[in-house]
Amino acid sequence: MTAFTPLSALAGGLMIGAAAALLLLLNGRIAGISGILGGLLPPQAGDAAWRVAFVAGLLLAPVAYAALGHATPAVSLEASTPLLVVSGLLVGFGARLGSGCTSGHGVCGIGRGSRRSLVATAIFMAVAVATVFVTRHVLGA
Amino acid sequence: MARILSAFAIGLLFGFGLLASQMANPAKVLAFLDVFGAWDPSLAFVMGGAVIVSSLGYLAARRLGHAVLAPKLDIPSRRDIDPRLVAGAALFGLGWGLVGICPGPALTLLSILPREASIFVASMLVGMALFRLVPQSGVASTLREADA
């Protein structure tokens, strides 16, 4: 159980949306993390630098966030190594096969009214909710 | 060079959003997905806020007709719902629901939970690389680079 935090969630969401809007307006690219990462496997000449720079920004965000005087947000993760491996494989493969993830489909795609992104988001949300239901209330009961 | 600097700054902003919203907290994500348990709907506000601002950016970019630092807007144009989209989204949802981590938060978590996040990110990159072994149809391979 975590506390209901609508204001900080909305503030963070506005920042994520602003990042997506700026990447499209300035660089002409969709801020889909799995697409940006996948485009580096393998890197293509002339197309890799902006991807590496974006990923570097994401990686350094916690350090910069702390440097600006914010406390490093508390995070909590309880998962065994085998579970981390399986879920990582599924997330990476699934995002590429389905042409996007939470950011590419859920934020950018829905934001421009893409039918493919609406369908993909509805499917991954429903499957994720069902997965949590099974692991917490069926298997974990 | 400007394009690289802007991508870096935008990556930082994206990461700040993940941290401030707690989207990078797997326990928070699982609580959001636990609709039939002790549901915490907070993260619906993340998606709501993000979609509104991203759609405004899309409308502005469409009106401009090109990007400020790039000659064109690289926007996916496919509209068909194909089996890959459905299967890929389902596999992604399963992986996301198991531990509560999706690709952006996975990267941002590397410096906060180095052990767990590096195992997840390494596996995710292997999963992405395995996708390249899937036979590409003609349409899929020409459109792949434009995908989100």
End-to-end alpha-carbon separation of chain A, Å? 15
pLDDT value at position B145? 47
B8–chain A nearest CA distance, Å: 4
Domain ranges of chain A: 77-141
Q: What share of chain A is helix, strand, coil (3-state, %, to 5)?
A: 70, 0, 30
Is B62's pLDDT higher than 90?
Answer: yes
Is B120's pLDDT higher than 50?
Answer: yes
Instruction: List, as ranges, residues 63-82 from B with C-beta within 8 Å of A.
Output: 64, 66-76, 78-81
Q: Which two tokens stand for residue B6?
A: 């802007």
Nearest Cα to A59, choosing from B109, B82, B146? Answer: B109
Q: State the Cα torsion A3-A4-A10-A11 to the nearest 10°.
A: -40
In this prediction, residue B137 has a pLDDT band, given cuts at 50, 70 and 90, of low
Express each pLDDT in A53-104 by its tens digit: 999 999 999 999 999 998 888 899 999 999 999 999 999 999 999 999 999 9
Long-range contacts: A132-135, Cβ < 8 Å, 24+?
A132/B30, A132/B33, A132/B34, A132/B35, A132/B37, A132/B97, A133/B34, A133/B35, A133/B36, A133/B37, A135/B97, A135/B98
Query: Nearest residue of A to residue B114 by CA position?
Result: A59
Among the partner residues B38, B49, B125, nearest to A10 by beta-carbon distance: B49
ipTM of the complex: 0.96
Q: What is the CA A46 to chain-centroid distance, rounded?
A: 25
Give me chain B's average pLDDT, please. Answer: 92
Express each pLDDT in A105-118 by its tens digit: 999 999 999 999 99
Nearest Cα to B95, choosing from B123, B129, B56? Answer: B123
Express each pLDDT in B19-48 by its tens digit: 999 999 999 999 999 999 999 999 999 999
Long-range contacts: B64-72, Cβ < 8 Å, 24+?
B64/A25, B66/A28, B67/A24, B67/A25, B67/A26, B67/A27, B67/A28, B67/A29, B68/A25, B68/A26, B69/A26, B69/A27, B69/A28, B69/B2, B69/B3, B69/B6, B70/A26, B70/A27, B70/A28, B70/A29, B70/B3, B71/A28, B72/A28
**C-alpha angle with apex B27: A105 to B124, nearest 5 degrees?**
50
pLDDT value at position B1? 87
Q: Which two tokens stand for residue A36?
A: 């940006």
Instruction: Please report, for residues A19, A38, A70, B12, B69, the alpha-carbon distance to residue B9 in angstroms, rounded to integers and kept in the order given.
Output: 9, 20, 18, 5, 14
| Cβ contact B113:A112 at 8 Å | no
Cα–Cα dist A54/A139, whole Å: 39
| Cβ contact B83:B102 at 8 Å | no
**Cβ of residue A17 closer than 8 Å to a chain B Cβ:** yes
Is B138's pLDDT higher than 70?
Answer: no
Q: Which two tokens stand for residue B111?
A: 């410096």
Instruction: Please report, for residues A63, B107, B126, B143, the alpha-carbon distance to residue A68 in angstroms, rounded to integers and kept in the order given.
Output: 9, 20, 34, 40
Cα–Cα dist B108/B56, whole Å: 26
Express each pLDDT in A6-31 by its tens digit: 999 999 999 999 999 999 999 999 99
Is B148's pLDDT higher than 90?
Answer: no
Instruction: List, as ranges, residues 77-136 from A with C-beta within 8 Å of B.
Output: 77-79, 81, 83-117, 119-121, 123-133, 135-136
Is A61 close to B98, i.e. CB distance below 8 A?
no
